[in-house]
Homo-oligomer: A and B are copies of this chain.
């Protein structure tokens, strides 16, 4: 079992990483006998995980209710979140209840925001079931729902009480979802850890075949990197923004294509190549390193260009709604080298559009 702590004073919390966690009620700390909980999950995951989890917790003396939401990014909305509130109120859950987010990033983000908002804040536990949510969205307390005009525009910084990562969940993950998670994994290498990027080049095949040791190491390393960044900058006044590499471009793709058509990691993969090309045009990143990024993303089965149906001019209106925009000015995360990145303002829109063009033309 791997244990990491996200260090945030009295709001610090553990991340537990192992196989077989669903067989041990102690995994779901800090729940204890006599507590009430509401499991939030989706229609795809419910048949597989809901009964085992509820039975485990009930045997441990926790009174568990459940709410099952439709599956997909297009359901990460205020209106769907309201179904969680209705379920909580119908069952008279109080301020002392605990929400359990059982699912991927959509369930985790929505449930976290519901926990932040229900009666102005109740406890919640993240149980991420996808690689993407295990290495990224379940750690760090960013919760949100989407708005038709922008992704993750409505939410809260709200930390979970614990994160429970069961590697066994990845065995039933569709390959496209696994690849989407690998985009965020590769992101950590590019922005923070060149050695980890090298490790990924050497071990990608083991990850794709779900080798347990490779997975456990990979997830632990990503969670460690994220925990360090979050502990240093919880509310994204500085360094935390680096975690958004590729996301300003990627969010534009997701919004333009309609949520759920491009997976988040797919859009981020293409967006990271666009960021690398922008950095190249600014003379701060080498073509060789961009090629290494493209090669690794491609091996993972990820797109390295934007959607064919999306014109270069379609990007900017979405990008200007990015949460990093300040005083109307675009701020981009750009790589400086493998393992190092910066947040940069003042890049001309023409240069950004040219880099998107480069990306579309130059796929390996």
Contacts and interface: CB of A to CB of B under 8 A. Distances in A.
A19 interface: no
Contacts of A95: 323-326
A144 interface: yes
A89 B147 contact: yes
Contact of A89 (B82, B85, B90, B153): B153
A251 interface: no
Contacts of A120: 142, 144, 155-157, 235, 323
Interface stretch (A111-119, A272-280, A290-298, A346-354): A111-119
Interface residues of A, number: 40
Judged by DSSP, the binding face of A is: mixed
A121 B156 contact: yes
B89 A121 contact: no
A325 to B, nearest CB: 5
A154 B118 contact: yes
A149 B90 contact: yes
Contacts of A325: 92, 94-95
Residue of A92, A144, A235 with highest tally of chain B CB at under 10 A: A92
A95 B236 CA distance: 11
Residue of A81, A117, A320, A325 with highest tally of chain B CB at under 10 A: A117
Contacts of A1: none
A321 interface: yes
A364 interface: no
A96 interface: yes
A78 interface: yes
A149 B90 CA distance: 8
B92 A321 contact: yes
B149 A86 contact: yes
17 contacts: A78-B78, A78-B79, A78-B81, A78-B82, A82-B147, A85-B147, A89-B153, A92-B325, A92-B328, A94-B323, A94-B325, A95-B323, A117-B117, A117-B154, A120-B157, A120-B235, A156-B156
